[in-house]
A and B are shown apart, each in its own frame.
Chain A
Amino acid sequence: MIALIALPLSLMSLQQGGSIAQRLTGRVSPEIASLVEELGTAASARGLPIDPLIQKAIEGSAKGVPAERVAAALRLVATQLDTAAAALRSGGVASDTIAITAGEFAITAGLSGNDITALARTGANAAALTVGLRVAGTLAALGVPPAEDIGLVSVALRSGEPASSLLLLPAHVQSEMARGVTPAQAAAGLARAAAAQARHGPPPGRGEGHPHPPAPPHP
Chain B
Amino acid sequence: MSERELHPLVKQLLDGEITLADLPAELRAEGEAALRLLAGVDRTPVSMPAVTWRVMTALERRRRRFVPWLLAPALAIAAALFIWLRVGTPAPAAGLVTVRFVLVAPDAKQVSLAGTFNQWDPQATPLVRTGATGLWTATLTLPAGQHQYAFVVDGARWVPDPGAPAVDDGFGRRNSVLTL
Please give the residue numbers on chain A whose beta carbons come within 8 Å of chain B beta carbons, in ascending order.
27, 55-56, 58-63, 65, 69-70, 72-73, 76-77, 102, 105, 108-110, 134-135, 137-138, 141-142, 167, 170, 217-219
The reply to whether B99 and A218 contact each other, CB–CB distance below 8 Å, is: yes
Please give the residue numbers on chain B whose beta carbons come within 8 Å of chain A beta carbons, in ascending order.
99-102, 114, 116, 119-122, 145-146, 148, 158, 161-173, 175, 177-180
Alpha-carbon gap, A70 to B171, bound state (A): 7
The reply to whether A63 and B161 contact each other, CB–CB distance below 8 Å, is: no
Contact of A141 among B102, B162, B171, B177 (CB under 8 A): B177
18 new A-B contacts at CB < 8 Å, known A63-B158, A218-B163 = A55-B116, A55-B120, A56-B170, A58-B119, A58-B120, A60-B171, A61-B120, A72-B170, A76-B170, A77-B170, A109-B167, A134-B146, A137-B177, A138-B146, A141-B165, A141-B167, A141-B177, A170-B165
Contact of A27 among B119, B146, B180 (CB under 8 A): B119
Alpha-carbon gap, A8 to B73, bound state (A): 43
The reply to whether A167 and B101 contact each other, CB–CB distance below 8 Å, is: no
* Chain B residue contacts of A70, Cβ below 8 A: 171
Alpha-carbon gap, A110 to B172, bound state (A): 15
* Chain A residue contacts of B164, Cβ below 8 A: 218-219
Contact of B171 among A27, A58, A69, A167 (CB under 8 A): A69
A-B contact pairs, 28 of them (CB 8 A): A55-B120, A58-B119, A59-B148, A60-B170, A60-B171, A61-B120, A63-B158, A63-B171, A65-B171, A73-B169, A77-B170, A102-B146, A105-B167, A108-B168, A109-B167, A109-B177, A110-B167, A134-B145, A134-B179, A137-B177, A141-B165, A141-B167, A141-B177, A170-B179, A217-B100, A218-B100, A219-B102, A219-B164
* Chain B residue contacts of A217, Cβ below 8 A: 100
7 closest A-B pairs by CB: A219-B163, A73-B170, A141-B165, A62-B120, A142-B165, A65-B171, A59-B120
